[in-house]
Structure 1
């Protein structure tokens, strides 16, 4: 056996996660949801009207799901690190080329729409998309 074991990752809804952590979070969520529901089925017949026992039990099961969400959040922290570096217009052009988008068409649509232009300036990303010499409509 290797001293360092490589962790298996899977893609779920566009995000890459640890397979072991995914299984753990699913099991914790199922356990707490069902526990809340079945505890409600045992407790509520003594304190609630008969026609409301099922509804209250379901609410307790949902509360168990929320508790599982909080527990999973604290147990399994994100492992990715984001490195923010300023992008240049040329870098954006390369990304668009890889994605087979037309950067000039995008720049034209930004320049033609004052609302988009204003929002991009407020977000600080306008200069990444628009070449300084090409923009006469500031």
Structure 2
């Protein structure tokens, strides 16, 4: 199911470029920032050819999806537990504009990001995309 989402999208306490998601960052910048072995960084191509960088940050698995120019266009954040999920919801409610119980907008000097909590039978994750 997650693989299908990557195809459809072709779209943490962290901070630089565009908040957690690193929207607009290059693949090289993300690889450099998370080069430490603790992040368990991996990269791959999806079945439809989209380039993805996956890494682990604390209680979260993160997947950055890139366009053909290797610029991050979407980020998926997968909390490892219900507690990690609730912690992010609380953080987003505190720091971002609440659009609905499962959607937020983050405004920054880098632009606007849309954040959406996706809940499926087999789990849940946050999808970050550009709001520009």
Question: Same fold, TM exceeding 0.5?
Answer: no
Q: TM-score, normalised by structure 1?
A: 0.22
Q: Which has the higher strand share?
A: 2
Q: Which has the higher helix share?
A: 1
Higher relative contact order (CA 8 A, sep 6+): 2
